[in-house]
Amino acid sequence: MFPKGVFLAMGLCLATPLAAQDLPALFDVTGVAANDVLNVRAAPDAAAPVVGALAHNAQFVEVTAVNAAGTWGRVNLGEGAGWASLSFLAMQAGSVLPDAQEVTCFGTEPFWSYSVTADGEATWSAIDDEVVTMRAGPIRRADARFEPFVSVAGGPDQQGVLVMHKDPQCSDGMSDNLYGLSATVVLTGKLSRAVSGCCSLELP
């Protein structure tokens, strides 16, 4: 008998399996009893070891990849990634690029971050740099293409260009987390920078 309070996702199939082109996206946990959790496993298999759990009411869970059958989604927990059954995850409407409300990109050497929000704000921060905020245009697809996704921002004496590609194996270089987008950020003007890293849709 399973321990009380632990919910084992059995890998039930969705009526319509999720396709990789729909990712990354944000999901809410659904269909889990209030005294249970949704297990996150080391592999997309109900028999794989449990590496973590999502609360029964967890929201804004970023799924960055799916298995070949489209029935399990990869999520980041702490310093690593694992797999949760998509039978118990509901995609949030409007959370897929280019419609996502916010995207944050980041990298190392040096540590930096660059975020763009749907209400038109882009923010750059990095070690030894002042925080720079600019007005940003909407995130959009490159002309006549499905990707890359592009956002252009500007302000007094500062311009920024963000270019993102879907990349389900993007690593931050510091943990075992795996993200669904890789990015290049180019700043010109008062600050001149060209950096590359990963991006996340998950809200801070």
Paired tokens of 100: 């996502």
State the 10-residue block means of pLDDT for the chain, 204 residues long. 38 52 92 97 97 97 95 94 97 94 92 95 94 96 91 96 96 92 97 96 76
Paired tokens of 184: 């290049």
Asked whether 65 and 74 are in contact (CB, 8 A), the reply is yes
End-to-end CA distance of the chain: 37
Residue 198 pLDDT: 97
Residue 204 pLDDT: 57
Residue 11 pLDDT: 36
Asked whether 91 and 100 are in contact (CB, 8 A), the reply is no
User: Helix, strand, or coil here: 88?
Assistant: helix
Paired tokens of 45: 């298999």
- Taken as a whole, the chain contains a residue count of 204
